[in-house]
Amino acid sequence: MHLHANLTQRLQALASGPRRLLGIVGAPGSGKSTLAHLIAQHLGAQAQAVPMDGFHLAQAELERLGRARRKGAPDTFDAAGYAALLRRLRAQSGDEVVYAPDFRREIEEPVAGALPVFARTPLIVTEGNYLLLDEGDWQPVAGLLDEVWYLHVDAALRLERLTARHQQFGRSREQALAWIASTDEPNARRIEAAAHRAQHHIGWDPAANCYTFLSI
């Protein structure tokens, strides 16, 4: 699994110079976190992955709000907190360390202060579902990113990945499919509706065994 030269050239340009923020967006199961970590691995000390998922509301808060059965929907995140982090990352300088939260799937909870981000890292790669959503507290997010790349994936493969993920973390196949139908897919449609706002579209080229820019 690797990146096409057209991606690596663009990434190197983004990582050469002052702090830049690159967003990776796509429907649930599209492989956003895999791609973000692949980019960070490729660039080494020039990049760091910082996920949007660290801003999931805690399970107890979702239950208090009556939103636990819709976990993953736009209103189950602290969108304003995520936007505030992006602003801090844009303004970061000197010896300042910004601590970002992470999300641990094994406990299904966000973990505060899990990811130290250093000012010397020129490119921050942040991935998540709602980077392009133009409503509520999500509205400023796209404008805080230098570029957003929309990740396309075959629908059948995406659903297969989602089913496997849900089963890996304790759901039966029937429960996984029910969650996908009631929660993941409605979210996917909202995400796809905003895809036109992305600066670039990318996908997997099976013939070349790499991620590449798409002409859409």
Domain containing 73 — which CATH number?
Answer: 3.40.50.300
Instruction: Round to whole Å and give the CA distance between 203 and 208.
Output: 12
Query: Residue 126's CB: how many other CB atoms inside 10 A?
Result: 27
Instruction: Round to whole Å and give the CA distance between 8 and 155.
Output: 26
Number of domains the chain contains? 1
Instruction: Round to whole Å and give the CA distance between 179 and 79.
Output: 23
165 is a domain residue:
no
- Is the predicted pLDDT of residue 90 greater than 80, yes or no? yes
Nearest to 42 by CA among 69, 57, 22: 22
Higher pLDDT, 152 or 179: 152
211 is a domain residue:
no
80 is a domain residue:
yes
Q: What is the mean pLDDT of residues 27-33?
A: 93
Exposed/middle/buried for residue 146 (C-beta within 10 Å: 0-12, 13-18, 19+): middle
- What residue numbers bound the domain in which 30 lies? 2-152+192-206
16 is a domain residue:
yes
Q: What is the mean pLDDT of residues 146-157?
A: 94
pLDDT at res. 122: 98
Contact 134, 197 (CB under 8 A): yes
pLDDT at res. 16: 97
The per-residue pLDDT for range 58-75, each reduced to its tens digit, is 999 999 999 999 999 999
139 is a domain residue:
yes
pLDDT at res. 158: 87
Contact 123, 47 (CB under 8 A): yes
Q: What is the pTM of this model?
A: 0.94
212 is a domain residue:
no
Report residue 117's pLDDT band, with 50, 70 and 90 as the boundaries: very high
215 is a domain residue:
no
Report residue 166's pLDDT band, with 50, 70 and 90 as the boundaries: confident
167 is a domain residue:
no
The per-residue pLDDT for range 196-211, each reduced to its tens digit, is 999 999 999 988 899 9
